[in-house]
Amino acid sequence: MISMASEAYEYLSESPQPNETEFLFTSMQHDLRATGKVAEIITPAFGGGCEHSNFQQALRGAMEQARQAGQVNPIVVGAIPFDLTQASCLYIPAQYQWVERSEPIHVSRETKDSPTLLNQRSIPDEQGFKKAVQHAIVNFQHSDIRKAVLSRICELEFSEPVDVQRLLASLRVQNPSGYQFRVPLSEGGELIGVSPELLLRKQGAQIESNPLAGSAKRQADPEQDRAIADRLMTSPKDQYEHHLVIDEIRRVLEPHCAELDIPDHPSLMSTSALWHLSTQIKGRLRNPELNALQLACQLHPTPAVCGYPTGQARKLINLVEPFERGLFTGIVGWCDSQGNGEWVVTIRCGIVQHKNIRLFAGAGIVEASQPDAEWNETQAKLGTMLNACGLGWINSLDTPA
């Protein structure tokens, strides 16, 4: 466990106030709020698992720049894209502060408060997505690829600028135990979301990871909801999908760990929209000097967002996905100058730009997948952000996953 609250984290000059926060990351009981920028890291994180990589050098250079600017314990915050060869979106803020999380505040769902939805479209559309799933399934039958995560975009245009504070408040109500994030983007706009999936937390020699794979849509009726959860736990397709992720994470972490605890079987975890198969992994590093970003770069992208084997799955994704994922299914979080940090998988999120939001959702495809069910799963995953936008009704038009 990271004991951030009790630690004397520094902040330069005044602490950021919630309404002027530019970067936000919620971790367990605390929010990391940051403003300003003293150094930027756009070097791609490719090879970032190695301490001599360009990326790690850029990271050390930026930390040094911050120290010269007077910071005693600088931190790096931001996001890294799905494709590690693309520019990183990281920086060292001028001020930061850990604050205790407040109780989620009720957000009114009255339609008069919500701006009107002018346009929406899915890329690819329903037919295109199902075709891509079918394409992947055929590929599995004729190659060594076992899993590929296929995703789609849902573009929304509103009559008025999106109220980001309201969006964040609603995400907090929906998933109070999730990792909420808000990242300013240099090209304009903000990355906003609430991820349920911890890629890596590192404090000293202790590490944790909580991969998720295998999902089912929550049901309003408690009995049906329980039945869906039980079915997920015993579904061979979902167990298989999950184990591909765990085996790959074990392969990466094992050589680094003096102790590694990976339960034999996943457990259930839930958000307001979905059930997930989840494995809580804990370990103790042989070399506590490894920084959180070094390890995160070795783990990313796991088969929970890419597939298995990674290289081949990535090629298949590039072939069938008709858009650039950018930051979606990358990682978002923070790392301090001692190498401690937390990185979560950038899912259940969107990019907000004035009156537009670009939402993203994906689903792990294996040979036993059904195109209709995978489409419905992406719709359920979009539900978190759609609800936050006051558009929960869109999901009620769908058949349950």
Ligand X SMILES: C=C(O[C@H]1C=CC=C(C(=O)O)[C@@H]1O)C(=O)O
- Strands 190-195 and 267-270, bridge-based pairing: unpaired
Contacts for 267 with CB less than 8 Å, ≥ 6 apart: 277, 278, 279, 280
Single out the segment in contact with ligand X by CB under 6 A; choices: 30-38, 98-106, 336-344, 360-368.
360-368
CB of 131 to ligand X, least distance (A): 18
281 binds ligand X (CB under 6 A): no
Length of the chain: 401
Nearer to ligand X, 48 or 364 (CB): 364
Nearer to ligand X, 164 or 269 (CB): 269
Q: Which of 141, 137, 83, 85 is nearest to 320 (CA)?
A: 137
User: Catalytic: which of 22, 190, 197, 248?
Assistant: 197
Q: Report yes or no: 378 and 369 within 8 Å, Cβ to Cβ.
A: no
Of the residues 361, 366, 385, 391, which one makes contact with ligand X according to CB under 6 A: 361
Active site residue 241: no
User: Catalytic: which of 22, 147, 217, 241?
Assistant: 147
364 binds ligand X (CB under 6 A): yes
Q: What are phi and psi of 199, to 5 degrees?
A: -80, -50
Contacts for 303 with CB less than 8 Å, ≥ 6 apart: 147, 149, 213, 244, 245, 248, 310, 313, 364
Nearer to ligand X, 293 or 382 (CB): 382
CB of 238 to ligand X, least distance (A): 7
Q: What are phi and psi of 77, to 5 degrees?
A: -130, 165
Q: Report yes or no: 309 and 146 within 8 Å, Cβ to Cβ.
A: yes
Residue span 160-189 as binding mask against ligand X, x where in contact by CB under 6 A, dash where not = ------------------------------
Q: How many CB atoms lie within 10 A of CB 257?
A: 18
Of the residues 84, 148, 296, 305, which one makes contact with ligand X according to CB under 6 A: 305
Q: Which of 248, 339, 328, 338 is nearest to 295 (CA)?
A: 339
39 binds ligand X (CB under 6 A): no
**How big is the CA angle at 165 (ends 159 and 169), to the nearest 5 degrees?**
115
CB of 12 to ligand X, least distance (A): 36
83 binds ligand X (CB under 6 A): no
Number of residues this chain uses to bind ligand X (CB under 6 A): 18
CB of 365 to ligand X, least distance (A): 8
Of the residues 191, 292, 296, 304, which one makes contact with ligand X according to CB under 6 A: 304
Nearer to ligand X, 197 or 342 (CB): 197
Question: In the range 369-388, which residues lie near ligand X by CB under 6 A?
Answer: 381
CB of 377 to ligand X, least distance (A): 7
User: How many angstroms from the chain centroid is the CA of residue 235?
Assistant: 24
362 binds ligand X (CB under 6 A): yes
347 binds ligand X (CB under 6 A): yes
CA distances from 92 to 63, 226, 341 (A): 7, 44, 14
Of the residues 137, 149, 273, 388, which one makes contact with ligand X according to CB under 6 A: 149
Of the residues 182, 276, 325, 358, which one makes contact with ligand X according to CB under 6 A: 276
Active site residue 197: yes
DSSP 38: S
Structure tokens at 296: 């995160």
CB of 273 to ligand X, least distance (A): 10
CB of 387 to ligand X, least distance (A): 14
152 binds ligand X (CB under 6 A): no
CB of 115 to ligand X, least distance (A): 25
| Secondary structure (3-state) at 134 | helix
Beta strands in 245-339 (DSSP E): 257-261, 267-270, 274-278, 281-285, 307-308, 331-336
363 binds ligand X (CB under 6 A): yes
Nearer to ligand X, 265 or 286 (CB): 265
Task: Find the DSSP H helices in 34-144.
Answer: 54-68, 126-141
Nearer to ligand X, 54 or 280 (CB): 280
- Strands 23-27 and 179-184, bridge-based pairing: antiparallel
Question: In the range 193-232, which residues lie near ligand X by CB under 6 A?
Answer: 197, 212-215
Catalytic residues: 147, 197
Q: Give the residues lining the site for ligand X (CB under 6 A).
A: 149, 151, 197, 212-215, 276, 304-305, 329, 347-348, 361-364, 381
